[in-house]
A and B are shown apart, each in its own frame.
Chain A
Amino acid sequence: MSLELRNVGWNAGFKKIISDVSLRVTRGEFLGVIGPNGSGKTSMMSVLGGIRAPSTGQALLGDQPMKKIGRRNLARHIGFVEQQADTIDRITVRDAVALGRTPYLSLLTPWSGHDDAIVCEALASVEMGPFADRMWHTLSGGEKQRVHIARALAQQPDFLLLDEPTNHLDIHHQLGLLELVRALPVTVVAALHDLNHAAMFCDRIAMMDGGKLIALGTPEQILTSQNLREVFGVAADIEIDDQGRCHIRYHAGNQKTRAIKKDRVA
């Protein structure tokens, strides 16, 4: 089962948000998507997840155009976790995860013990088992994100797409979440804003800028000082440790500021 974009463009009205994006997700990998604000990450993820239809080009699942596959079928293979989804409904954690079974339920196939089991499994994978009967609104941000992931897992997907899943979490939960996700037996595509996290967890990184996919490769290939300066507008040094992992060291401010500081000290 493969997930692919071929020359995909997406327009909002007359404005081109993303154009000519081609990408093939490898089975079992953790693919990170990075880029500055407005680079089109979320739009690309939406098309990749089958939530939006591309304006140009094709989105394919298992080499079949998503259009032909149908929403329900897509939902059985792709789980999508938005940046921030919340509700004021008074539901339990279990109810929230149970929504993930929607693509499998119908009038003729009502809820069964099998669905219960899958929900339990999903909760266990995100280590939220004891929270099953808690009310949604009593959870913290990190806990809610984990429940969202559990819901996506309840869909029994082949691919898990996460759109900036750690945005509003504290550092402990950011890392915990990414660690958890990496350990899951699904192929993950995650849009990340923290480049060091991308370096730590991703097998490959896709870098986007101005609506185009400008680079795709391993962290060492993508996360270079030059790319960081050109795409993100920051000065940084890249350190590669003995295990081959990248660490980005940012330089605060630019040359001018450093010169002024030097003068002051002196």
Chain B
Amino acid sequence: MFETSPVQQPVQPPRQSLAGRAYLVRAGVSLGALVLLVGVIAMAAAKGETHIPLGTVLQTIANHLWQAGYDVDPIDAGIIWNYRISRAMVAAACGASLALSGAVLQALLRNSLADPYLLGISAGASTGAVSVAILGFGAGMVSLSLGAFVGALVAFGFVALLAIPAGRGAGAIILAGVAGSQLFNALTSFIVTKAATADEARGVMFWLLGNLSGVRWPDVYLALPVAVIGLLGCLWYSRALDAFTFGVESAASLGVPVRRVYVVLIAIAASMTAVMVSIVGAIGFVGLVIPHAARFFVGTRHGFLLPASALIGAVFLVAADIVSRIILDGQVLPIGVITALIGAPAFAIILCHGRVLR
């Protein structure tokens, strides 16, 4: 009846299928990425506020890993193993978690500017920390970390409750998150200006900008499992996340249990973020920019994007931590400043190269 397109050639099967060579390439890249991560952690052990010779660093690592028995000054050994390496591991776990949460939220909320703090978590953490440090909640028994964690959960609960009557869907969650964040940020400012003495305010503000200085091995035992479990949990839903490409209704029509996926993934992202923020404070830009960088390298399929985001996030944050310790002599910059200084221009570069927007 009406002209449709002329008869086409039979469709060729895709040149790249998941078999053989492609697998090898992917395996190679993953191995390379892991080596990179190990390498940057080793560098974090070697570089720091004070200068420790590389030989000492290697000897210390050898001592701990396979009882090599070198004679190393206990203070140097302690610094390398208990301070620097544990700090690097937490930085890696934190970077991975934040990047992962960012990638997941960007997919669920269908918004390139979503980041884990959208759910009100960093705002709540700051209110919690400030309540402990300035209002004296807990009377000196409660640490800043615990206060931050509780604050993060309270804020997230508030946002979740707000999102329900606001209607379902991405728009409602984003709006509720913005409202919640504004509220808790205002609370923080209020407490700080009204009740804080100078050094209280300074101490808390410094902590809030992201601070890895207090990290020791017990923090690693918390952060690392959280990051790994979070990664596995999100990977389980990677196909579901792909299905959100064309929206929520489209995902539902493809058989994805939308409600359940939302609840589980947001819960995972919120928990990971709350734990990380309570350990190291609110480090910005990682959750926002790293997923875009990862897309730049591996594309949008979440089976690759999620691990790539985690890995790039981990390497990035360890590197940023190194920079924060060596950039100024004898002083440590808050890591949030470094991530912003690197993250903002990096984001601009990625945007310019045009291969972005999710």
Q: Which residues of A contact B (CB under 8 A)?
A: 46, 49-51, 71-76, 78-80, 82, 85-91, 94-96, 99-100, 102-103, 105-107, 110-111, 113, 116-117, 119-121, 123-124, 127, 129-130, 132-133, 148, 152, 155, 172, 175-176, 179-180
Contacts and interface: CB of A to CB of B under 8 A. Distances in A.
A71 B300 contact: no
B10 interface: yes
A123 B14 CA distance: 12
B300 A90 contact: yes
Given A124-B11, A129-B8, A88 B301 contact: no
Main secondary structure of the interface of B (DSSP, over half): loop
B263 interface: no
A260 B258 CA distance: 57
A71 B252 CA distance: 8
A264 to B, nearest CB: 39
A102 to B, nearest CB: 4
Given A120-B11, A130-B9, A132-B11, A176 B236 contact: no
18 contacts: A49-B253, A71-B252, A74-B255, A80-B253, A82-B249, A85-B249, A89-B300, A99-B245, A102-B243, A119-B14, A124-B8, A127-B5, A129-B10, A129-B11, A132-B12, A175-B1, A176-B2, A176-B5
A46 B17 CA distance: 35
B247 A82 contact: yes
B257 interface: yes
B17 A116 contact: yes
A107 B237 CA distance: 10
**The 4 residue pairs across chains A and B that have the minimum distance between CB atoms:** A75-B255, A129-B11, A80-B253, A103-B255
Contacts of A130: 8-9
A107 B190 CA distance: 50
A96 B254 contact: no
Contact of A107 (B236, B243, B299): B236
A258 to B, nearest CB: 33
B358 interface: yes
A95 B243 contact: no
A89 B18 contact: no
Contact of B13 (A85, A86, A116, A127): A116
Nearest to B355: A90
B4 interface: yes
A179 B1 contact: yes
A161 to B, nearest CB: 8
A243 B257 CA distance: 47
A72 B255 contact: yes
Contacts of B11: 120-121, 123-124, 129, 132
Contacts of B247: 82, 85, 87
Nearest to A91: B300
Nearest to B112: A88
Contacts of A89: 245, 300, 357-358
A123 to B, nearest CB: 5
A97 to B, nearest CB: 11
Contacts of B12: 120, 132
Contacts of B4: 127, 176, 179-180
Given A105-B239, A176-B2, A95 B252 contact: no
A176 B13 CA distance: 26
Given A102-B243, A120-B11, A124-B10, A113 B249 contact: no
B242 interface: yes
Contacts of B33: none
Nearest to A161: B253
